[in-house]
Amino acid sequence: MQEKLNKLEKEIQRSLAEASDAATLEAVRIKYLGRKGAINMLFKEIAQMSIEEKKTCGEAINKLKNDTVSELNLRLERFKDKSKGRFELLLPGKMPPVGHFHPLSKVFNEIVMFFKSHGFTVETGPEIEYDWYNFGALNMAKDHPARDMFSSFFIKEDLLLRSHTSPVQIRVMENQKPPVKIICPGRCYRYDAFDASHSPVFHQVEALYVDKGVSLGELKWLLSEFVKYIFGPKTKYQLRPSFFPFTEPSGELAISCMVCGGEGCSVCSNSGWLELLGCGMVHPNVLKNVKISPKKYSGYALGMGVERVAMVKYIIDDIRVFYNNDIRFLEQF
Ligand SMILES: [Zn+2]
């Protein structure tokens, strides 16, 4: 019997080694492990033997059976793996689509990075604001005509969706003595029609620096650095007078048109310049409202729409494309 077993074991090993695919392996399985296979036949043979012999031979046959089963399964797995992971050197690889930031997030992050690198810290505040923080403290009393510049969403008589991020500046100055050097990034709301240049929800970043002896010259230097950082070192800019109730004097920064390079085209209405942001020296009344002495301290403030900066930077003529989630647009960045 032992001799028979040894012979069979060698035969099985050879057959397994020769099997080159799953189908051949299956034939080997049927031949040796099937109901009428060689191993089962051996079990039948030992039926006539004595109990002692049955025990020894039975154990040996069982061992052969188990070894064959595990060896067969192992080889079967290997065939499966091979067919799964076939590797063709000459086939071009598959490039999975790569995600990236939304153009607004990109510009937003760039602006925030610029100011952080100049020592500003980031402050945020509520999007639902009191009239006082959104207007009153910013030198715009209830009957101030400048309120018309901000078509605001009022929730109650005294409560509104903030129409700029300036209320954050007031909240910070209320709680912190100068030096105050902050930026306030965030969402703002205005009752505007959703058209090519307006959106009822948009993003702003405002910067504020209040300390002893802060001058307009410092603001001008910061703006020139900002233009270089966001639009490149060769971009020309212009600081011209403007009006805001919360700054005095007030200014407006424009950069040379990215399309025509200042020659004049339809994008810049033939002026050669594109408006970018508003700025100025903090109005003494604003400082008084937060109990900071305008005799001792001065400061500058500036604010920009992130959408506006992105539109000027990437020459986009319709603000709505930022919110449409059109992959053909988004993939260009
Ligand atoms: Zn132009």
Residue (of 6, 266, 222) closest to 114 by Cα position: 222
Question: pLDDT tens for residues 256-313?
Answer: 988 888 888 887 888 989 899 999 999 999 999 999 999 999 999 999 999 999 998 9
Residue 16 Cα, ligand 1 centroid: separation in angstroms?
A: 78
DSSP 55-115: HHHHHHHHHHHHHHHHHHHHHHHHHHHHHHT---TTSPPP-PPPP---HHHHHHHHHHHHH
Element of type H or E holding 23: helix 22-33
Give the single-character DSSP code of 322. Answer: G
pLDDT in tens, 1-20: 788 888 889 998 898 888 88
Distance 138 CA to ligand 1 centre (A): 34
pLDDT digits (tens, 9 = 90+) for 73-117: 888 887 776 666 566 677 778 888 888 899 999 999 999 999 999
Give the separation between CA 61 and CA 7, rounded to whole angstroms: 12
Tell me how far the alpha carbon of residue 118 lies from the centroid of ligand 1, in angstroms.
Answer: 31
User: Which residues fall inside 5 Å of ion ligand 1, going by CB?
Assistant: 257, 259-260, 265, 267-268
**The predicted structure's pLDDT at residue 87:** 65
End-to-end CA distance of the chain: 78
Instruction: Please write the tens of the pLDDT for every residue from 190-210.
Output: 988 888 888 999 999 999 999
Give me the pLDDT at residue 85, please.
59
Residue type, 299: G
Give backbone dihedrals phi and psi of 132, rounded to 5 degrees, phi first.
-60, -45
Distance 256 CA to ligand 1 centre (A): 8
Give residue 310 CA to ligand 1 midpoint distance, Å. Answer: 16
- The mean per-residue pLDDT over the stretch 116-142 comes to 93
Band the pLDDT of 152: cuts 50, 70, 90. Answer: confident
Give residue-wise pLDDT tens across range 220-242.
Answer: 999 999 999 999 998 899 999 99
pTM across the whole model? 0.69
Q: How far is the CA of 119 from the centre of ligand 1 (A)?
A: 34
pLDDT value at residue 190: 92
Residue 86's pLDDT is what?
A: 62
For residue 265, report the distance from its CA to the centre of ligand 1, in Å: 4
Tell me yes or no: is domain 103-330 CATH 3.20.20.140.
Answer: no
202 CA from centroid of ligand 1 (Å): 24
Residue boundaries of the structural domains of the chain: 2-84, 103-330
